[in-house]
Amino acid sequence: MNIKSIVSSFINRKIKKVEPLFGGDINRAYRITTMNEIFVLKQNSSKRFPEMFKKEKVGLSLLSLAGANVPKINCVFDFDDQQFILMEFIEREKNIERDFWINFGTSLAQIHLKSNTHFGLVFDNFIGSLQQQNTFENNWTTFFIEHRLQPLVSNSYDLGLLKDSHLRNFDGLLKQLDQLIPKEKPSLLHGDLWSGNILCGPQQTAYFIDPAVYFGHREVDIAMSFLFGGFDTDYLNSYQEVYPLEPDWKARIELHNLYPRLVHLLLFGSSYLQGIEKVIRKF
């Protein structure tokens, strides 16, 4: 497949260079250089992941409308059985300074202040390569149980990644969730907030990429920022100046991180099981 000629025909620009980019697990990615601009192109199967990039475009638009900085989308298109998204290339700062984390915390709070009448989203989307169910619910614990935890627990059990003892522990935990998690209005979430999905752009500006958006409990994003490292948690100072967290939010980090841990269990295998076991035994 000639990426240069395919992209050129869709954007009507002469392309000087196409270079592969590395670091993601799901998509092929390229740096596309024209006479005056630089883009990022992502490619994947349109059959395996229907409308993945159309949904990513909508997700980035929702974040932008909430006040966050995101790459500008040039176009989303299909060619043969492949789908593509072409977007602005964000030139990264070499050094991340304190101002970046201040900007990130403020931006994340602005995203979370964007609310909705229900938890969920008008369409399903993806987290990594997994389908993410976003059926609307009136309260967070119902949504979290029925559209986040239970589907992945069931899939993991069917694949032999979880055993009967795990199911019993999950059952005990799920019965307690409504008492463990404070009630809040739905917040717009990035949904996949690990350090690889934020960029330090020009002038220490925080850019958000690769979202898995929906309206949920904002502690989900906060919790995931603690899961794999890479964040200066001082960002929470500027976050809480805009949108203070509920008391004892740190005690709920591992509860909300059950979802991304289950995602990784399904995608990458049993090396992620120990972290799940620790949480479900504790609660």
* CATH number, residue 244: 3.90.1200.10
- Are 270 and 161 a contacting pair, CB within 8 Å? yes
CA angle 249, 253, 255 (to 5 degrees): 115
Residue 282: the pLDDT is 86
- Are 137 and 120 a contacting pair, CB within 8 Å? yes
Residues 83 and 216 in one domain: no
Could you give the residue ranges of the DSSP H alpha helices within 25-118? 52-65, 98-113
Check if 192 is active-site. Answer: yes
Residue 11: the pLDDT is 82
What is the average pLDDT score of the chain?
A: 95
With a CB cutoff of 8 Å and minimum separation 6, the contacts of 133 are 124, 147, 148, 151
**Given 99, 158, 178, 192, which residue is catalytic?**
192
Average pLDDT for residues 4-28, to the nearest whole number? Answer: 84
Residues 58 and 26 in one domain: yes
Residues 104 and 78 in one domain: no
Q: Which of 60, 88, 116 is the last residue of a domain?
A: 88
pLDDT of 146 strictly over 70 = yes
Instruction: Indicate whether 93 belongs to any domain.
Output: no
Question: Distance between CA 147 and CA 150 in Å, rounded?
Answer: 7
Number of structural domains, the chain? 2
Residues 210 and 74 in one domain: no
pLDDT of 1 strictly over 80 = no
pLDDT tens, position by position, 72-96:
999 999 999 999 999 999 999 989 9
pLDDT tens, position by position, 207-239:
999 999 999 999 999 999 999 999 999 999 999
- Between residues 5 and 158, the one the model is more confident about: 158
Residues 235 and 191 in one domain: yes
What pTM, to 2 d.p., does this model score?
A: 0.95
With a CB cutoff of 8 Å and minimum separation 6, the contacts of 258 are 149, 276, 279, 280
Residue 145: the pLDDT is 98
pLDDT of 5 strictly over 90 = no
* CATH number, residue 32: 3.30.200.20
- Between residues 9 and 195, the one the model is more confident about: 195
